[in-house]
Amino acid sequence: MTELENKLMMATKLAARGRVSRRDFVQLAIATGLTATAGNLLFAKALRAEPKKGGNLKLGLAHGATTDSLDPGLYYDQFTGTACWGTLSNSLTEIDSTGSAVPDLAESFEPSDGAKKWVFKLRNGATFHNGKPVTADDVVASIMHHRGADSKSAAKSLLEPVTSVTADGPNTVIFELTGGNADFPYIVSDYHIPIMPKKDDGTADWSSGIRTGPYILEKFEPGVTATFKKNPNYFKSDKGWFDTVETISIKDVTARTNALTSGETQYLHRADLKTLDLLKQNPNVVIFEVTGYGHYIFVMNVTQPPFDNPDVRNAIKYSVNREEILQKVFQGHGTVGNDNPIAPTVKFAIDPQPQHKYDPAKAKELLKKAGLDSLKVDLSVAEAAFTGATDSALLWQESAKAAGIDLNVIREPEDAYWDNVWLKKPFVASYWAGRPTCDWMFTTAYAADAAWNDTFWKNPRFNELLVAARAETDDAKRAAMYAEMQQLVHDDGGLINLVFNSFVDAHANNLAHGDVAANWPMDGMKIAERWWFAS
């Protein structure tokens, strides 16, 4: 350990007691060879040791609409997710910073019968905001809220495999599934499935806003703001530090940035990548970047020529210069994709080999193997798929020329892109927000019969493995199976994964936190529960 590193360690300890300013600390960190960002993170880490109570947290969120509702089945963006779930509510489980599902309102959960049956034990002492204790009946009612023929819940399909949910006494809930699913605890961590009090008629009471979370709802104006005050009876004593929380919908990124820099908010959701360097220079602001599960992709319909030939697919995969696109379109905020939909932070993720790097020679060779000298294909894009889709496609168009591939970029209308283009046209830009488990991601988009199998890829071996891995409770065996499946998608699938995008946010430098979860932005949308104000 060098002298500088020693000093840094000392400083870290001092910082934890609030004795060293951020500026001094970061300068020291830079001197030891760390970047300023890393220094900032280290400083935040140092501060973490002693969370403090108090303060009014204001979050500037990029989402929110007048159509927002307290109905959890209709939470459809990160405004309702952060405000009406992460701040207000709890699910049975939550995802922690390691990407694992851990108990939240549940105290514990146990699988049996090849993961076809799950028993959840509830915490003792957890109460709703009105003082009523949380019981198994409330959980059942909350789950049933999403089920039924005329349910419009976004979690409806998620809970499709559940055949029954029953209360066994006041503190135990039993789920029966159609097939084994070792990842079921992940499913019930979803932000659409918070636990709500049961009403007299047996249904869940979603409209009152009475939940279990660290903050109590004071006011909710859809599309504008939601305000909360501290829940004094919260069942976790080491969470929920702020006195009040306000989530404000600020759709314009410049306004959002100004709100942070002028001190009106302490958190900036979705920073403007273009001006990030300028924002970095603000001493009161910390850039907060987390690589998540979401990925920007192009998908080929493998049932349609010429994409029905795996060599053509691979030739196309080698003609993309992902690194260039990452740097030019996304300013480096992300990780290049390797045609694997599983993010590196997800359990069981691998990095399939060979890497799909830009290699026009290889692409040409593959084309030749498929009996083609050149290739001309239409690519449908719109910014609705993901911001930067058009620019990415245009850059790709340039790089693909060297591989003898002529990409014809078609700009589709933004509105109803998901209805009219995605799943309809053979080669389109798309986006997956990602899922916290391999099974969830694969079941959603790569299983042969999945409604959203946007590559129309039906690989028998893959589908066999998918069912087997789901019910397997031995981690080592599952790891092997998921590795093989990822390799299969990488080698044979119709997916071109450009990049895993980062959540690039920023916050005031007096805001502190521990290790952050990567399943959603804002510490898994639980920033209000997990973060605090340092002095």
Give contact residues for other proteins (rule: CB under 8 A): 65-69, 71, 73-74, 76, 150-154, 156-157, 206-207, 219, 221-225, 248-255, 257-259, 261-262, 264-265, 272, 274-275, 277-279, 328, 331, 390-391, 394, 411, 413-416, 418-420, 422, 431, 451-452
In the complex, minimum distance from the CB of residue 42 to other proteins, in angstroms, rounded to a whole number: 27
Please, which residue, 385 or 512, has the CB nearer to other proteins? Answer: 385
Q: Taking a C-beta distance cutoff of 8 angstroms, is the pair 197, 128 a contact?
A: yes
Q: Taking a C-beta distance cutoff of 8 angstroms, is the pair 173, 167 a contact?
A: yes
Q: How many residues does the chain have?
A: 535
Please, which residue, 221 or 323, has the CB nearer to other proteins? Answer: 221
Largest CA distance in the chain: 72
Please, which residue, 422 or 442, has the CB nearer to other proteins? Answer: 422
Single out the residue of 318, 313, 310, 315 nearest to residue 366, CA to CA. Answer: 315
In the complex, minimum distance from the CB of residue 319 to other proteins, in angstroms, rounded to a whole number: 20
Strand locations in 331-404, DSSP E? 334-336, 375-381
Please, which residue, 233 or 275, has the CB nearer to other proteins? Answer: 275
In the complex, minimum distance from the CB of residue 103 to other proteins, in angstroms, rounded to a whole number: 27
Distance CA 396, CA 341 (A): 20
> Within 13 Å, how many C-alpha atoms sit on residue 416's CB side?
3
Q: Which residue has the tokens 């273009």?
A: 274
The 3-state DSSP composition of the chain as helix, strand, coil percent (nearest 5) reads 30, 20, 45
Distance CA 338, CA 355 (A): 6
Distance CA 292, CA 66 (A): 27
Please, which residue, 4 or 448, has the CB nearer to other proteins? Answer: 448
Collapsed DSSP state (helix, strand, coil) of residue 432:
strand
Please, which residue, 244 or 331, has the CB nearer to other proteins? Answer: 331
Please, which residue, 314 or 455, has the CB nearer to other proteins? Answer: 455
Distance CA 500, CA 442 (A): 16
In the complex, minimum distance from the CB of residue 450 to other proteins, in angstroms, rounded to a whole number: 11
Q: Taking a C-beta distance cutoff of 8 angstroms, is the pair 87, 227 a contact?
A: no
Distance CA 173, CA 79 (A): 30
Beta strand 267-268 with 56-61 is parallel
Distance CA 498, CA 386 (A): 11
Please, which residue, 183 or 205, has the CB nearer to other proteins? Answer: 205
Distance CA 230, CA 217 (A): 9
In the complex, minimum distance from the CB of residue 501 to other proteins, in angstroms, rounded to a whole number: 15
In the complex, minimum distance from the CB of residue 50 to other proteins, in angstroms, rounded to a whole number: 31
Q: Taking a C-beta distance cutoff of 8 angstroms, is the pair 268, 257 a contact?
A: yes
Distance CA 132, CA 115 (A): 32
In the complex, minimum distance from the CB of residue 124 to other proteins, in angstroms, rounded to a whole number: 32
In the complex, minimum distance from the CB of residue 62 to other proteins, in angstroms, rounded to a whole number: 11
In the complex, minimum distance from the CB of residue 28 to other proteins, in angstroms, rounded to a whole number: 27
In the complex, minimum distance from the CB of residue 509 to other proteins, in angstroms, rounded to a whole number: 17
How far, in Å, are 54, 120, 273, 444 from residue 439 at the CA level? 40, 21, 32, 8
In the complex, minimum distance from the CB of residue 27 to other proteins, in angstroms, rounded to a whole number: 23
Number of H helices, E strands in the chain: 18, 19
Please, which residue, 224 or 402, has the CB nearer to other proteins? Answer: 224
Residues facing residue 290 across a β-bridge: 503
In the complex, minimum distance from the CB of residue 65 to other proteins, in angstroms, rounded to a whole number: 5
Please, which residue, 378 or 464, has the CB nearer to other proteins? Answer: 378
In the complex, minimum distance from the CB of residue 498 to other proteins, in angstroms, rounded to a whole number: 17
- With the CA atoms of 261, 266, 269 and 270 taken in that order, what torsion angle do they form, in degrees rounded to the nearest 10? 30
Please, which residue, 153 or 399, has the CB nearer to other proteins? Answer: 153
Please, which residue, 268 or 528, has the CB nearer to other proteins? Answer: 268
In the complex, minimum distance from the CB of residue 250 to other proteins, in angstroms, rounded to a whole number: 5
Beta strand 375-381 with 405-411 is parallel
- Kindly state the DSSP code that residue 257 receives in the 8-state scheme: H
Please, which residue, 153 or 459, has the CB nearer to other proteins? Answer: 153
- Kindly state the DSSP code that residue 50 receives in the 8-state scheme: S
Distance CA 316, CA 360 (A): 9
Q: Taking a C-beta distance cutoff of 8 angstroms, is the pair 279, 287 a contact?
A: yes
Buried b (16+ CB within 10 A) or exposed e, 227-243: bbbbbeebbeeebbbbe
Please, which residue, 12 or 444, has the CB nearer to other proteins? Answer: 444
